[in-house]
Structure 1
Amino acid sequence: HYKKMRKEFRFNAKQHKIPKYEISVNTGQPKAYTVETKMDNRSAFGNALTDIIQHNSLKKSNTPIAVFDCDLAGSVKTDKIKKEYSEVFFESGIQEHHTATCSGAASVNGVVSFFADFGVFGIDETYNQQRLNDINGTNLKVVTTHVGMDVGEDGKTHQCIDYIGTLRNLFGFKIIIPADPNQTDKAVRYATANYGNFLIGVGRSKTPVISDENNKPFFGEDYNFEYGKMDILRNGEYPLFTHGAMVPYALEVQKILKEKDVSLKVINVSCPVAVDSKELNSLIDTDVIFTYEDHNKYTGIGSLIADKLLESGEKCPGIVKFGADKYAYSGKPAEVFKLMEIDPESVAEKILKSIK
């Protein structure tokens, strides 16, 4: 298998063609976390990938999977793979640039590669390596934990608040920022089975399982992950677009404003660079909309949604963006959000003023 892949790679390289291969991986059945579950999305990632590798190891004819680590297995939740499936685990130590290059190279030679790291290391520090991976059409799954101000106590040097803004520069990277453990699980299985470069970005903190209005898991057994599709978590009048760690905070904003007779339509944008203009326009019927994210507010979903609306020319409402407008502080995430004035109470108050 590997000899054939190497021969094909050399042949295509001479003709400047990117070699692609068909992925044959058993991704197993998605896990179903209940609303009582208290878990961080990084643990949901580790559980999903361990499950996939277990299923894949049962059939040697499947496409190989490799997991690359930079001495952070316990934090990025690949430690179980390191312990139980050491033959597919590659420890690089504190060599992020090398690891990004090595994992990308493996992925164009018939291996589905996962590179798990903190956001500031897997994206910011290795940007040029990811750019070259993108140019070379790799099949790399970059999973960055500890993104955004959700990192809290690690301080501004480790608060990766540009994960969308940075990778949106690369034409081939797909970006998924899942809302809870259930959506994270499904996103990991989706990325594994589909060729191409993916970023799956998750925070550090425990995230409640998102429920529907009947207190059932929104991303539960009946939910099918579709890349690019937005999710209406709560129906209402004024659209509030959000993603990732801010989803539970957005739902809290919705509750606060509901008591003041203002209804918000809370929309989860898990695939920010793949927003569909037609779907976006169908969600807007007001003269002002809102975006809410744990990210630089000038380069995240706020600007992406504004671009889409202007390009389509159908609707051009006012847009109010909530997110980081400066480097943040060191402290517990909820405290940092309050200091940055993006806690639910502050956001609800600003939305009320904007509407009036």
Structure 2
Amino acid sequence: MSASIDAAHVAKAFEETFGAAPQGVWAAPGRVNLIGEHTDYNEGFVLPFAIDRAAAVAIRLRDDNIAQLRSSYGAEGTVSVDLDTLSHDTMTGWTAYPLGVVWVMRQMGITIGGFDLYLHSTVPSGAGLSSSAAIECAVATAFNELESAGLSPNELVLVGQRAENEVVGAPTGILDQSASLLSTDGHAVFLDCRTQESTLVPLDLAAAGLLILVVDTKVSHAHATGGYAARRASCELGAEVLGVAALRDVVAADLPEAAGLLDDETYRRVRHIVTENQRVLDTIVVLDDAGPAAIGALLTASHVSMRDDFEISCPELDLAVDTALAHGALGARMTGGGFGGSAIALIPASVKATVRASVVQAFADASFTAPDIFAVSPAPGARRVR
């Protein structure tokens, strides 16, 4: 699944914790969104790819109705929950992600009894790389198999989204779970968030001598906090005033009229969604016609729109983008929900050391927390790994 997930190590940690071997280990990757930000809940277009960092869960079913959960980073030790009393009050902290999936699947009529679960993840938390969706998709994939639920990948996407929306409280769309569940090695996922139709798009960066460099700014974000919800509310207001089902139905030719109907802030939020949808479509065309080296300008334009129109960037993200562009990146943008997290830079592999050193120095000069910088490549989606 991933060079950064050792399934045998996860299985051993489970056995040391619970005294017996797990029935299996399942893993699901985090993701980088190449382009298409905040378009998912507006029924638009996105182009993410799974990365070679993942969440893995080892699970063994129990004969009772008790869930025991432990993670490699859970300072509280093993958490025990009676599934008969499962509620929003009992699904807290990191356990809200796996228990939220169980709650949703039980709500769907799928019988899930007690279980022991051990979680280990190499997806950085709060970095805008969908660490939460990786957990949800690993757990959903595991129970889909263990309980012979027969859910399709698209149905599992909606299980993860419901867990995120209804349990965690983050009003996200289907982008993250789709990337984690539908990706294949060496491809991005072109997703129509209205129809949930997806197409695999070749993204062979290595063959083009390119790589995606992730700059985790260490500015943590949380989707459940107000900024994300406020942006979604602005989009819903814009759609209502413009008389459309979703901003997916607004195109660039409609923007002059929209400017006369909306207040300035709402208009700029709408303009970002409309232009970002078009950038996703343009990126697909450019990838097919000219290859990944030609998409840099679209990535950078996306960042400018998120910075100025959607206002979800921050000084650290802007510095990462500007510095990467000044030292050889073909394009760069923040990725994820915003208000922190990570930026990505599309760079020739030959300038990796230069770009990395320049960003580290720029952060130090600005007295920002030192970033974590690493390369990612398109990886496979969720599956059983042991």
TM-score by length of 2: 0.26
- What is the TM-score of this pair, normalised by structure 1? 0.27
Higher relative contact order (CA 8 A, sep 6+): 2
